[in-house]
Each structure stands twice: as structure tokens, then as C-alpha cells.
Amino acid sequence: MAHTPGALVDELADLARDRGVDCAVAIGGGGAVGLAKTTALSVDGVEVVAIPTTYSGSEMTPLIGITRDGVKRVVRDMRVLPKLVIYDPGLHVGVPPDVTGPSGMNALAHCVEALYAEAPNPVIGMFAEAGIRHLTKGLPAAVRDPNDLSAREDALYGAYLAGTVIGVTGVAVHHATCHVLGGTFGIGHGEANSVILPHAAKFNAEAAAEPLARVAHAMGAENAATAIYDLAAGMGVPMRLADLGLGEPDLDRAAALVVEHTKYNPRPLDIAGVRAMLQAAYTGERP
């Protein structure tokens, strides 16, 4: 299940009310955690327990995205923040690379965008850099060997930090783009993150030079956009929008929607600039 569809949200809320539910336990990826969060949002008194098996970090955030009528909107509400999160690397053993890699790219994007957030926070910045280091170390190793518990621990710690930072700061053009690609065009969130993040970093390279230099340093590289691209390519995650079911004629509409729905970005947005970013992501060129 992707993007927490509104119809399913309503159905689950009705069921929770009818059964007198007071706790929603989510075991799984970001979709499962998100659905449990919507129950807490819709039904008074429901608390969430999250046991994540992927790496988005959403279990650490008071954020929930719900898709209705082809539009994905994000709500911030402390009621949806899980009261208990259980991290167990053993539950991740055998999670396939095509889940590990893309979900981890989502976590990496949380850390990157936290560093050039509208209201930067020095403590959160340290958390974000640490998250990048652990994700850069753990994710490729977990992709190479899904049974590597040490790699899973690194990836999970990075995911925890990623969720913590994005829950305090906010998102910019990268996540706004991924929400458009998911909510309107049906592309999986992890896959969208994998494709878009290096191009969003390049898009913001001049306007967010210092934060992106910190990203590069945390990755042990000189250029953030190139390092992110190479990390993704090395894990075998999707690298081109063209491979995710998006047609080139869709890019114009997507660019307009991204500009409409992006509330903040360090570089001012215009349709031509976003369209160029999407074109690079469509062909998968290395930044």
C-alpha cells in the first residue's frame, strides 16, 4: 500500500470507532505506519505503536501524508506521533534490496532537506549529518547482504535520526516533488526519492551551498549531488523517471504542481527550473 489512500483511511477509522480501538500497532514499512497514524488522527484516544521494517524514519515524525483525489497532502499533528517505537534489526533480515535501498533513500532525503530547512537548528543539523553517515555506511552493506545485522543497525539508526530531524524542521522541493509524483502519478515514495534526490541537490546547489557541503562531507565526498547519485546507483535503485511509468509529456504538469505545492525552498521556484530538474531525473543523467 502506497501513499495512504483516503478511502482506506476512512474505512479504517470507521472500523476503529465501531470496535472501540484505543491502540493501533503498525508492523511494516512507511505505509503501515502511516495508516496507523491516520487512525490516531481520526479517532480520539487512539495511540500508535510502530515496529518499522523499512528505513523511512516516519515512525519518529508527527507527520502523515494522505492522498485524496490524486493529491497527496501532509498533515502535522502531535496526535499521530507514535508513543512507542521498537527497532529490531532482526526483523529486517531478508528485507530485499529493492525495499531497503529506496526506503533508505527516503531517510537520506529527510536528512538532506533538514540541513537546508527554512529555520535551521544547530542540534538538528548534527543529527542530520550523523544520519547521513550511518545511512551511507549501512544501506549499501544491507543491500549487498540482507542478513548483515551490523549494516541493518546502521541503517536503522540513520532512519531514526532522519525521522527525528524531519519531524522538527520541514521539507522543500525534493519532498514536494516526490509527493506530486506519488499522489498524482502513482509512483512509489521510495522510488521517487531515489530518482529525485540527486537532482534536487543539484537544483539547490548554489542557494544551499553550505548545507550541501555538509552533506558531501558526511558522505565522504566532494559534491553532494554526485555522491547521492553514486550511492543510489551503487544500490541498484531506480535512477530514471522514465523507468517508473511517467511519460515525458507528464513533466510539464508535474512541474506546475510542484511549484504550486512547494511551501519553501532555498532556491526560488519557477516552472522552467523545476521542469529542467524533472527532465534530468527523467533521463537519469549523473549530476
What's this model's pTM, rounded to 2 decimal places? 0.92
* pLDDT tens-digit map of 93-128: 989 999 999 999 999 999 999 999 998 889 999 999
Residues of the chain with CATH 3.40.50.1970: 6-85
Residues of the chain with CATH 1.20.1090.10: 95-283
Residues 6+ apart with CB under 8 A from 210: none
* pLDDT tens-digit map of 168-211: 998 999 999 999 999 899 999 999 999 999 999 999 999 999 99
Q: 95-283 sits in which CATH class?
A: mainly alpha
Backbone φ/ψ region at 31: left (φ over 0), alpha (ψ -120 to 50), beta = alpha
Is the CB of residue 279 less than 8 Å from the CB of residue 251? yes
* Domain made up of 6-85: CATH architecture: 3-Layer(aba) Sandwich (3.40)
Q: How many CB atoms lie within 10 A of CB 236?
A: 13
